[in-house]
Amino acid sequence: MSRQPAKGRAKTAAAKAPARKTATSKTAAAQETAPAKVRPATEPLLSVADIHTYYGDSHVLQGISFDVHPGECVALLGRNGAGKTTTLRSIVGLTPARRGQIRLGGSDIVRWPTHRTIRHGIGYVPEDRGIFSSLTVAEHLDVALWAGKQSASRRDEVLKIFPRISERMEHYGQQLSGGEQQMLSIARALLTDPRLLILDEPSEGLAPIIVEEVRDTLARVKKAGTSILLVEQNVAMALALADSVVVLSQGRVQFTGTPAELEKQPEIKETYLGIA
């Protein structure tokens, strides 16, 4: 697979994808000329370029492209079945892309096994939270520390962000509430000291007050300098956190821009997100 020059990689994701006569190309073209849409001058931490992913013969992702820059929060939005979760799974290698390029910190990771990708600087919080029923909270953290080759001091740092977790260390995963499980899942992902935190629907199934807690926690994580790639059905929460938004539909990028730009595109919100 040929490598793109650095200058080319720094362009907007939509510009990397093949031109399509869809809202994507129109919106992306509009973004190219708008001063507010200029991306940070830094090299992207994560660069997803024209990836194609299949489930059997089903062509699920059909040329997804976007970037996540250091310290940035990017929200992947879209209706059910748009390809959001598959995009995340392709990035971490759980459902590998058959074509395209995924670069993390300058390395092409598209063919890497999942554990290698994760060790290269990703923390992954899956849709179902991935809490092990037979492990205590302390054991969840121990496994994450061991996998990430981190010292116990890292645990102390992370637990400062999650005081409720530190009170439940001897409880088993199945004994935690939904909010506590989500906090544990995020804490576990942060223990490896990732450069990029990937979260799939962190607010799903949580009470509104817990959703606020999750949002505030992610805001603190972002403020600390960790990049975030967020898949979220709760658009309000996603837009409150995101610096950049990517809207997917039927495995394609339909919009790339800032939350403010999305607000100015009611047809995108209505067509692809189902909100007025």
CB 185, min distance to another protein, A:
9
Q: Is 135 in the site for another protein (CB under 8 A)?
A: yes
Q: Is 10 in the site for another protein (CB under 8 A)?
A: no
SS3 state at 118: helix
Q: Is 144 in the site for another protein (CB under 8 A)?
A: yes
What distance separates the 2 farthest-apart alpha carbons in the chain? 56
CB 121, min distance to another protein, A:
10
Report the run of H or E that residue 42 belongs to, with start and end: none
Whether 272 contacts 249, CB under 8 Å: yes
Q: Packing angle between helix 137-147 and helix 152-161, nearest 10 degrees?
A: 130
Choose the binding region for another protein from 61-69, 76-84, 137-145, 263-271 (rule: CB under 8 A). Answer: 137-145
Footprint of another protein on residues 172-201 (CB under 8 A)?
173-174, 181, 188, 192
Q: Is 157 in the site for another protein (CB under 8 A)?
A: no
Footprint of another protein on residues 29-48 (CB under 8 A)?
none
List C-alpha distances in Å: 193 to 68, 69, 75, 180, 243.
Answer: 17, 17, 21, 20, 21
Choose the binding region for another protein from 29-37, 57-65, 126-134, 204-212 (rule: CB under 8 A). Answer: 126-134
Residue from the set 23, 51, 102, 131 that interacts with another protein by CB under 8 A: 131
Choose the binding region for another protein from 38-46, 125-133, 207-215, 241-249 (rule: CB under 8 A). Answer: 125-133
Euclidean distance between CA atoms 187 and 81, whole angstroms: 28
Residue from the set 3, 6, 59, 146 that interacts with another protein by CB under 8 A: 146
List C-alpha distances in Å: 227 to 138, 187, 230.
Answer: 26, 15, 10
Choose the binding region for another protein from 25-33, 59-67, 73-81, 146-154 (rule: CB under 8 A). Answer: 146-154
Identify which of residues 131 and 242 has a Cβ nearer to another protein in the complex: 131
Q: Is 240 in the site for another protein (CB under 8 A)?
A: no
Q: Is 127 in the site for another protein (CB under 8 A)?
A: no
Q: Is 118 in the site for another protein (CB under 8 A)?
A: yes
Whether 225 contacts 254, CB under 8 Å: no
SS3 state at 198: strand
Residue from the set 10, 15, 30, 94 that interacts with another protein by CB under 8 A: 94
Whether 120 contacts 104, CB under 8 Å: yes
Q: Is 170 in the site for another protein (CB under 8 A)?
A: no
Identify which of residues 30 and 94 has a Cβ nearer to another protein in the complex: 94
Euclidean distance between CA atoms 225 and 105, whole angstroms: 15
List C-alpha distances in Å: 226 to 1, 26, 198, 261.
Answer: 29, 31, 10, 24
Beta bridge partners of 58: 55
Whether 174 contacts 135, CB under 8 Å: no
- Which parts of this chain interact with another protein (CB under 8 A)? 92, 94, 113-115, 118-119, 124, 126, 128-135, 139, 142-144, 146-148, 173-174, 181, 188, 192
